[in-house]
Structure 1
Amino acid sequence: MTTSRLPAALAPWATALSAISPELAVALGPLLRRLDALVGEREPVADVHGDPDGLGGLSRSGRPDQLLPSEWLLADEYPEEFLRRLVDGELLHLAPEFNKPTVRGRMVALVDAGPTQAGAGRLVQLAALLVLHRRAAA
């Protein structure tokens, strides 16, 4: 299939979609775009980190070992208020600082291709693999 027969929205997947019929590629288009947006929200293509370089301030999210000591005191004295702040994302954490950014990423796919995954289930698996392949190549 030539890339000229694909809608512009499917251009990022043109190489992978060249192995299937144009009709199936167009039918997979909305699913590909939705899966790409879903995966992109949860797993960015690359996460910038570097060598730790101390602390850069305060943040509303982080690991438990980065909680401010005053938040742990709140947990001891007023556990209900601590839980409320935890649920509402109001706890303060120390924010780590990095000095030399490096790019890293992660792609994982686990699919069940058994007989119960025929039809629509198989199409979703195909779309997910196409989305992950494009993200891994990026």
Structure 2
Amino acid sequence: MCDWCPCPPRDGEVAKAQRAAGDHAPTIFSKILARTVPATVLYEDEKCMAFRDVAPQAPVHFLVIPKQPIPRVSRVGPEDTEVSLLGHLLVVASRTARAEGLHDGYRVVINDGKHGAQSVYHLHLHVLGGRQMGWPPG
């Protein structure tokens, strides 16, 4: 437990985020893009890929990643907005969620840095659905 809150001991994704080395490559996602690590791909185009999460936290849990390696959402630069990469990732998340049957809603999560529980330093959107999400999330 933390000194100041009733949270459980650090384990799982939080522990991975604390141990993550940061902005180094290659990541598991670059290996998935290179097809050296298998993934269940739901969508792919010239800018991004969507695939199922290997450790789902909801009945439907997939990731949307850019093919361009951006380590963190806080490291997005002007060039990423000029080509509308971020908007494209959200549109792909929405279309893929619809294709996965998430008609009653879903959650989109972007973790940033160790305090945001980011354990893979390649920008990625988690799309979670198929059940009622709780609030607050953290």
Please state which band the TM-score falls in when normalised by the shorter chain.
Answer: under 0.3
Structure possessing the higher radius of gyration over alpha carbons: 1
TM-score by length of 1: 0.23
Q: Which has the higher helix share?
A: 1
